[in-house]
Structure 1
Amino acid sequence: MHIQSEAPEIIEGNRPPANWPFVGKVEMKDLKIRYCPNTSLVLRGIRCTFEGGYTVGIVGRTGSGKSTLISALFRLVEPTEGAIFIDDLTISTVGIHDLRSHLAIIPQDPMLFGGSIRYNLNPLSEHSDHDIREANQMLITLLIG
């Protein structure tokens, strides 16, 4: 009953361009996260840069903060201190819909939801069949090398 609401879905006047992110460079600057006030930090001053255009895997022991890091990227949890930038845009300044609709993740345990493969790839019907086939071909090329 006392759960804090998420940030606004859209912040008019501060919407990223339709083609954002341009390069995909992700920077985390002194990122500190705790899940509840007055509890210990889960992430303690993370500083790193992931250059755009690369595939990145996040690995570590159970409890090392992998899921928290991804949750922060999608703003499922907000930083206590520090910031995350994608192509020099501070993600905390844009609405969560604008952020989440421009990012994608392949989880460790991928799963399909009910419905067709097409629906699972394009649940909001935002892309044409041509776009889906082109993305699929790019993925195959990446995987095969």
Structure 2
Amino acid sequence: MSGKSIRWISAFVYGTVMVIGWWYPVVALAVFLLMGLALLAGKRRKWCGSYCPRGSFLDLVMKRISPKKPIPRWMTGKRIWYISIAVFLCMFGFQVVASGLLESFSWKLMGKVAYRMCFVTSMVALPLALWRNHRAWCSICPVGNLLRR
């Protein structure tokens, strides 16, 4: 399968998760499944460029309306990465506790947590794409930075 086909499929997964994930939160787990499969296949470096559903959406859709300005230096430094990973982990921890996942595990609850994480980070990624560059989110993305380090 070509890289472009994979990106379209991945972008479709992102769109599907964002649209129907509210009603069927288990669908959001597909993003984590894709990430796990890419890592197991030894495709760490390809995750951001081809497999990441949000990255594919940003490349294929938001690139057309993004001003394509350079990403500011402060967004590419280690300090912002540490801040973003701390915020992401705190958000994830809060979601796990607030959803009741610690008391009793269920795939539906785990899907809700995954959906909320995707939704909130998208609410950061999309304005960044419109403000600066379609891939501005990627410079602070906790997942991508963890995979690259």
Which structure has the greater CA radius of gyration? 1
> Counting helix residues as a fraction of each chain, which structure ranks higher?
2
Question: Shared fold (TM-score greater than 0.5)?
Answer: no
The higher-RCO structure (CA 8 Å, 6+ apart) is 2
TM norm structure 1: 0.31
* Structure whose residues are more often strand by fraction: 1
Q: Given the two structures, how large is their TM-score scaled by the length of structure 2? A: 0.30
